[in-house]
Copies of this chain bind each other. A is one copy, B any other.
């Protein structure tokens, strides 16, 4: 049942949100508030939902479409009546990609847990046609020995799409209740496309800025979790705000140096954006990485991260601990361990090779990083 396209103005964009967790639901809400007023977008925002049966016996998509709330992942918040939940990725794909190519542009917002992305890309391969743009809101790509496996790159390569990223100090529940916040869009070439994403996400309480630095923006979203582990150790050791600020600053410096050594295109200025310093602050003040690392240090490293995670996070895993291991492998593989004492020490503490207090005891190694800054 193809809609009558001829009745609509040409070159309107249609937005689909792939993912419907806590952050995905908030993203759908932000976008849906804008598509209603922006003439260059269709009102309807389709949200792909990984279908679940609720304890009541109802399907999650049915409840979302009936109540206009994601009762499981964002209860109490109206998403906007123009958000339509769709349980079938390929159906959603078919309706979007097949019906509208030719006249309309499609904009795909990826906001799933990162481990699902490879499977989702496989299911979408060959089904995307026409003028389609993508953006990834997914934090925490993997850092493999040969370099980071960027989610934006995965999407670009697997689906043949240009892919921007949106990162920042974005605690979903705070944005859901419209508390003031910011975000950064990273784009590769087209400033015009970036501005379109900025338009789609911006609200008076959610300020979005675009920078031409996909890798820098995306790496910030991952590496900050390693620094949050370090900040948690400082909290657990009760070392005070001076030390915590110093560790956060050194962490930001290592984030910058590491990103620039991996991608020469990465810009210093990106780290002043919301994705950089602001997200780092948020993550080091609150956040589960900081919290579990705090508990780890208070226990003198005697209880493992696995044990504390199981007890404190109800089955969620800490990204910071696995990212620290992945970063350590890159540093070790490339002979950079000495240049990144904070990153290296976080991993060594996590695996029990060093005590939590090493996070500052190894500080005398820190000035060596000035070598990196000169070389980058």
Contact = CB atoms under 8 A, between A and B. Distances in A.
A281 interface: yes
A117 to B, nearest CB: 25
B181 A243 contact: yes
A258 to B, nearest CB: 14
Contacts of A279: 245
Interface string A225-248: 000000000000001111111111
Contacts of A363: 180, 204-205, 207
Q: Is the interface of A mostly helix, strand, loop or mixed?
A: helix
- Interface extent on A, as a size class? 35 or more
A360 to B, nearest CB: 4
A209 B370 contact: yes
Contacts of A285: 241, 244-245, 285
A169 B245 contact: yes
B269 A272 contact: no
Contact of A366 (B207, B242, B246): B207
A277 B276 CA distance: 11
Identical chains bound together, number: 2
A253 interface: yes
Interface in A234-284: 239-250, 252-253, 256, 268-269, 271-274, 277-279, 281-282
A365 to B, nearest CB: 10
Nearest to A285: B241
A212 to B, nearest CB: 14
Interface string A192-212: 000000000000110101000
Contact of A282 (B207, B245, B274, B364): B245
A272 B270 CA distance: 12
B282 A242 contact: yes
Contacts of A295: none
A182 interface: yes
Given A278-B249, A281-B249, A364-B204, A179 B268 contact: no
Contacts of A281: 241, 244-245, 248-249, 281
A256 B247 CA distance: 22
A197 B119 CA distance: 57
A39 interface: no
Interface stretch (A27-35, A170-178, A300-308, A332-340): A170-178
Nearest to A274: B249
A286 interface: yes
A372 to B, nearest CB: 13
Nearest to A234: B180
A275 to B, nearest CB: 10
Contact of A170 (B181, B209, B242): B242
Contact of A278 (B207, B246, B274, B367): B246
Nearest to A279: B245
Contacts of A179: 239-240, 242-243, 360
Given A207-B246, A245-B279, 4 more contacts: A174-B243, A180-B243, A205-B360, A245-B285
